Amino acid sequence: MLGGVFHAAVLFLVAAGLQLVFGVQKILNLACGSFYALGAYAGVSAVNWALAAGAPPPIFPLVLVGAGLGLALVGPVIERLLRTIYDRDESFQLLLTFALVLMFEDVIRFVWGTAPHQLSSAYLVYGQLRVGGLVIPVYNLMGFLLARTRFGRIVRATAENRGMAEAMGVDVSRVYVRVFTLGVALGTVGGALVIPATAAVNEMGIDLIVEAFAVVVIGGLGSMRGAVAGALIVGIMRAVAVATYPEVEMLAIYVVVIAVLVLRPAGLFAKAAA
Amino acid sequence: MITNRRTFIKVLAGAAAATGARLDVAPALAQAAPVRIGVLAAKAGVTAPVGESGLRGTQFAVDRINAAGGIAGRKVELVVEEESNPKDTVERFRKLALQTKADVITGGISTAVGLAVGPVSEELKALWLAWDATTQKGVEETIPKPRYAFRSVDNEAEAVMASILAARQFKGKIKTVAGINNDYSYGRDNWAAFLAIMKKFGMNVTPVVELWPKLGETNFTSHVAALQQAKPDLVFSSFWSGDAPILMKQAHAAGLTQSTKFVLTTAGGVHESMKKAFTPEGAIMGYNSLYFEAPNASPLLREFSKWHQERFKEWPNYESDHAYFTIVAYKAAVEKASKAAGGKWPTTEQTVEALEGIEVESLSGRRGYRSDHIMEASYYQGVTTHKNRHDFVTIDPVEVMSTKQIQKPSGTGLYDWINSWSV
C-alpha cells in the first residue's frame, strides 16, 4: 500500500504540471514526462556533485529539490517555442511536444550516456516518505497560490477568458511563461525526488506520460483536485493489483479509465477550478 | 586560383591526366576497395545501452582488423544504421543491402526486429549475422532453415545455467520461489525454464508469486511489497536493463535482501549499476557471454577491457562480445573461403558455407556458429561478492559453461531436452 502511495505521489507531481499547463494555456504537454526524466538525471548529478564538494549527506533532499527547481529554467525556453502553436490545432501541440520528448531523450543520452544513473548509497526510506509527504504541501501550496494570491487571480482569470484578461491589462504572455515554468518545475522536482528510490533511466519519462494521462482522464483535465484523486486511484489500483492478481496490473488502471470515460466523461473533478 | 586561359588549360589537362591514371588502375583498386560492414544498432529506448555496447565491440574489432591489414587485404568500412521498430529497421536493412551494398550486415537486438529482418535477409540473399534478436518463439517459423541469416544464442540459455547453479547452491535450503520477470517472451521463457529445471532437479519448490512488470518499468515498490507478503525463499529475475538495480535497491530498502536468496540471470548486463550498497552477497548473477574480470581472461579480453575502461570509463558487458564475434567470424570465414577459391574474394554463398561450423577467438574465449546457424559461446555466472576493488558486486567463484551444455541442441524442443537430462 505504501508502494502505491509513493507511486501516486510521483504521478501527482507530474500530472499536476500537466493539469496546470493545460488549465491555463490549453496545451497538452506530452513533454511533462521528459521534464520528469531530466529532473531525475539532474538530481543524481547534483547530489554526486554536492557530496564530492564536501556537503554533508543529510542535506541531499535539499540538493534534489534545488536541482529540480534549477532545471525549471528550461521552462521559459520551451514556452517560447510553444508560442508558435497556441492558436493552432491540438494535433500540432501533440506533435510538437512529442518531438520535444524525443529530443530530450537524445539530450539525456548525449549528456549522461545510456547506462542507468543512481545515487551511490541507498537513501530509499527517506525518498519514499519524503515524496509521499510532499503531496499535501504541494497541493496546499498550489491551492494557496492559485486561490489566494494576486498571481493566482491573474492566472485564473487568464484561464477563464484570455481575451478579457488581456483587455483588462494582464500581460498574458508573461503569465504563460510563469505558469509553464511552474508546470515544468513540478515535473523536474518530481523527477529529482524519486531518485533516492530508483535509478534514472532514459525511457523513464515516456513511461510516466502514459500513466499521467490516465491520471488526468480519471481526475478530469485541468483540475488540481482531480490530479490528486486520479494519482491516488492509479497508484493504489496498481499496488492492489500487483498484490492480489499481478496479471492485471496494467489492465486495472485502464478499466478505471474506461469506466470514468463512460460514466463521467469529463472526469471525476472536471468542474473544479484549475 | 585560375588566373588566365593558359593556366586553366593546364589545370584541365592535369585533371584529365589524373582521371586517366585513375581509370588505368581501376581494376586493381576495385580489388582493394574497402569491405563494407553494415551495422544495425539500437540507439533509443530500453535497448539503447545494449546497442551502444555492441557498437563498441564492433569498433574495437574493426580497428584491430584494419591495423592488421584488413580482411583478405581489404580495409573495413562501417556503415551504421539505427535499429528501431521492425518496419523501419527492415527498410534500413534493405538500404544497407541494396544501396550501400554492404558485404555483410551485423546487429539486431530486439526479437520483433529479428523476426522481420530474417526473412528479408533470405529474400535479398544478404548475409546477416545477428547479435541477439533471433532467440525466441516464432524464429523457427519465420526463419526456418536460414541460409543467409545467422542467429544468436537461445533465450533460455542464461536461465538454464542460472537454474543449474541455483539447484547446486540452494538444494534443500529453499521451499518457495517467486519470479519477477518482464512481461514478454524473454521474461516468460526464462521463468518457465527455471521452473522446469527446478522440477528436473527434484527441488520440490512451490512458486508462491509470479510478477510480470512491463519492460521499462522503474518503480517496483508494489512488486516488492507483494514479494514481502508472499515471503519466498528465493526470488528469480531475468531483468537485464536499468530495472535490475532498481529492483534490488527497492528490495533492499524493504529488507528483502537479508533473508531471501536471489537469482539474477542477466543483471551482469548492467553490472556497474549493481552497487554493493543494495545488492547482497550470495546471489547468483549472470553476465551472459562476457565477464570483464574472468579469472582466465585472455590477453584479448584484458586488452579490450582496458581499452573500454580508458575510453568510456566503464567496464564492458556481453553485447560487445556478440558484436565482436560477428565481425571476426566474418573475417575468418571470408579468408577461409578465399583460400579455398584460390585467393579470389569469395561469393556470399561461399562465405556462408565457411561460416557454418566456424570457430574463432572472441573476447570471451572460443565462439562459433553451429551448422544450423546458431551461435555457440561460453557463459559466465557465479555467486555475488563484495570483496573487490569496485563499488559494485562481482562474482566469485566464476562458473563457465558452454552453450553445448546449456543450449538445446538442433531440432529439439526446450522442455523435451530438459526432461532428457540425467541428473
Checking if the pLDDT of B20 tops 70, the result is no
Angstrom distance (rounded) from CA B107 to CA B380 = 22
Query: Nearest 5°: phi and psi at B415?
Result: -75, -35
> What is the DSSP code (8-state) at residue B280?
P
B127 dihedral zone (left: phi>0; alpha: psi -120 to 50; beta):
beta
Mean pLDDT of B329-336: 97
Mean pLDDT within A31-51: 90
Q: Which residues of B touch A118 (CB under 8 A)?
A: 245-246, 249, 273, 275
What are the strands, taking DSSP E only, across chain A? none
What CA dihedral angle connects B166, B168, B170 and B175, to 10 degrees?
80
Residue B19 has pLDDT above 50, yes or no: no
Find the domain containing A75 and state its range: 2-201
Instruction: Please tell me the distance from the alpha carbon of residue B382 to that of residue B283, in angstroms, as a whole number.
Output: 8
pLDDT band at B265 (very low <50, low <70, confident <90, very high): very high
Closest CA to B61 of B362, B306, B296: B362
Looking at the domain assignment, is residue A185 inside a domain?
yes
| Higher pLDDT pick, B217 / B290 | B290
A217 within domain boundaries: no
Would you say residue A207 has pLDDT above 50? Answer: yes
Of B221, B224, B273, the CB nearest to A116: B273
Q: What is this model's ipTM?
A: 0.77
- As a whole-number percent, the residues of chain B with pLDDT over 90 amount to 75
- Nearest chain A residue (CA) to B242: A116
The β-bridge relationship of strands B365-369 and B375-376 is antiparallel
CA distance B207 to A55: 46
**Residue B304 confidence (pLDDT) above 90:** yes
Per-residue model confidence as pLDDT tens digits over B22-54? 444 444 444 578 999 999 999 887 888 899 999
Measure CA B212 to chain center: 24
Task: Please indicate if any CB of chain B lies within 8 Å of the CB of A260.
Answer: no
pLDDT at B18: 46
Residue A207 domain-assigned?
Answer: no
Q: Residue A221: its pLDDT value, please?
A: 83
Average pLDDT, chain B: 89
Q: Is residue A142 part of a domain?
A: yes
Residue of B73, B112, B63 lying closest to B90 (CA atoms): B112
Q: What are the chain B neighbours of A10 within 8 Å (beta carbons)?
A: 219
3-state SS of chain A: helix, strand, coil percent to 5? 80, 0, 20
Would A274 be classed as within a structural domain?
Answer: no
Q: How many independent structural domains does chain A possess?
A: 1
pLDDT in the model for residue A143: 81
- Average of per-residue pLDDT across B160-183: 95
Distance CA A110, CA B394 (A): 28
Q: What count of other Cβ atoms lies within 10 Å of the Cβ of residue B168?
A: 11
Q: B71: left (phi > 0), else alpha (psi -120 to 50), else beta?
A: beta
Residue A257 located in a structural domain: no
pLDDT of residue B23: 43
Within 8 A by CB and 6+ apart from A79, the residues are: A176, A177, A180, A181
CA distance B56 to chain A (A): 13
Note which residues in 201-230 of chain B have CB less than 8 A from chain A.
209-214, 216-219, 221-226, 229
Q: Is the pLDDT of residue A35 over 90?
A: yes
The three cell numbers of residue A73 are 529554467
Strands (E), B320-402: 359-362, 365-369, 375-376, 378-385, 394-402
Q: Which three cell numbers stand for residue A134?
A: 510532499
* In-domain check, residue A148: yes
Residue B7, pLDDT score: 52
| CB–CB contact A118 B273 (8 Å) | yes
Q: Check residues B66 and B296 and name the one with the higher pLDDT.
A: B66
A31: cell is 513533454
Q: Which of A99-113, A217-231, B124-138, B389-403 has the highest mean pLDDT?
A: B389-403
Q: What is the pLDDT confidence band of residue A164, given thresholds at 50, 70 and 90?
A: confident
A51 lies in some domain: yes
Peptide bond into B397 cis (omega under 30): yes
Torsion angle of alpha carbons B178, B212, B401, B201, nearest 10°? Answer: 40
Residues in chain A: 274
CA distances from B310 to A115, B116, B300, B324, B392 (A): 16, 37, 15, 18, 18
Distance from CA of B211 to the nearest CA of A (A): 6
Check A7 against B221: CB less than 8 A apart. Answer: yes
Q: What is the pLDDT of residue A64?
A: 84
Tell me which of A74-83, B231-240, B396-405 is least confident: A74-83
Instruction: Give the pLDDT of residue A123.
Output: 58
Cβ(B239)–Cβ(B266) below 8 Å: yes
pLDDT tens per residue, range A86-138: 888 888 888 999 999 989 988 998 898 877 888 766 555 555 556 666 777 77
pLDDT higher than 70, residue B1: no
Q: Do B278 and A239 touch (CB under 8 A)?
A: no
Nearest to A105 among B44, B222, B242 (CB): B44
Specify the pLDDT at position B410. Answer: 83
Band the pLDDT of B21: cuts 50, 70, 90: very low
